[in-house]
Chain A
């Protein structure tokens, strides 16, 4: 009953997961796993259904999405602006680049407690963490990208009679857009990391907050359910980002 060929890879993968879950469930029911640490898949599923059944998940999802997407949008905008300015004005690059390099070298989530002190335990500190994670990534993408713009394309537009503005419009902007889109998935991942870690550190809402709640109450089933939920959410946004990238970079 094995279906061969690469077309059915997903089917085989699905079957493998199903077998794994069945074995896991059976082992759990046979008391071979401690439900304190590894709850049965059925328990995890029930916890997940619970979250949605009474509707209490929505404000948390809302909080995390707002923080992540807000940080993502701000981070991309500021990253692009700083990257462009630094690439065009060497005096500014001298100031910004070292700071960005330091921020790039450290694990930026260590700034989370600082943002809580500065901005409180509300939305702002989560947006800030998402933002800083994304902005540094996008800054370097744009900054290095502009300095590597293909000279031949610049000269082509100039020799066709293009002005400075047409260079920006026909060469620099599309190049910048291509690099940013090429890093969009990574940026989305960073944005959700920032939001969840921020909520984990100190919050009253959000998926990260629920995780820390699950941790403090030793609720392993809830924890697994939340991890699964975050996984699905991020994969979903990845898929959207991937579609967008594929469409806008269809020339590539």
Chain B
């Protein structure tokens, strides 16, 4: 999936200007930037919820092969966990009984065996996140777009889910474009980090390769020798960018 020279505007000054990035097959790419820099807008453009002002989005994938994990879990409150997971499958033509069986299998894979009959309201935040994840994974996507999916979780629950997510996408060779404002999360999970400047007219400052080998453990990769230098470099570039802005203003 390749995004080229993307500019997004909500009427006034563009929030994002000339952003380009590529997510290759099986690659895990992070887009890091301050709040309001247009990260969510970029993902919405990729999935077709937001029409860009200019620029192109190229992909060989069909719409149903791209999954999106929103910041909030966005589960239908009147459907049980199992029905929520089965929804995407039946919307794409799978027969209901088969979709429900498939959904149950995904719930089990995500440690939610026995929770299939619960409504979202009666699940914890972490469990809801897992249901949302099962919903997306059940579609067997080639690419998953993630919009700060772990931001709302407390540290311990979040760490466990992140670990499971990494194992699943690595195991199935799924490509990921993760949007986050957390530099450490970005480095520890990705093959490549794209640093976005402060908006409006946010642009991608630079792309950084992350030389930490796979398979990865998201916690251990933070103690990898390559982690700290990269982290400092990203910070320095981001601070320089913010200073530039301040001078220009």
Q: Which residues of A contact B (CB under 8 A)?
A: 152-153, 155-163, 166, 170-171, 174, 178, 250-252
- Residues of chain A contacted by B124 (CB below 8 angstroms): none
Q: How far is the CA of A157 from the CA of B87 in the complex (A)?
A: 8
Within 8 A of A (CB), among B70-93: 70, 72, 74-80, 87-88, 91-92
Within 8 A of A (CB), among B36-85: 47, 49, 63-64, 68, 70, 72, 74-80
- Residues of chain B contacted by A156 (CB below 8 angstroms): 70, 74-76
Contact bitstring B118-161, A, C-beta under 8 A = 1, else 0: 01110000000000000100010000000000000000000000
> Are B91's CB and A160's CB within 8 A?
yes
Measured as residues with beta carbon below 8 angstroms from the partner, the interface class of chain B is: 20 to 34
Q: Which residues of B contact A (CB under 8 A)?
A: 47, 49, 63-64, 68, 70, 72, 74-80, 87-88, 91-92, 119-121, 135, 139
Q: How far is the CA of A39 from the CA of B21 in the complex (A)?
A: 86
SS of B interface (majority): loop
Chain A residue at minimal CB-CB distance from B68? A159
- Residues of chain A contacted by B72 (CB below 8 angstroms): 152
> Are B91's CB and A161's CB within 8 A?
yes
CB contact under 8 A between A161 and B63, given known A153-B74, A155-B49, A178-B78: yes
Chain A residue at minimal CB-CB distance from B49? A155
- Residues of chain A contacted by B77 (CB below 8 angstroms): 251-252
> Are A171's CB and B47's CB within 8 A?
no
> Are B91's CB and A166's CB within 8 A?
yes
> Are B91's CB and A152's CB within 8 A?
no
Give B137 Cβ to nearest chain A Cβ, in Å: 12
- Residues of chain A contacted by B76 (CB below 8 angstroms): 153, 156-157, 170-171, 174
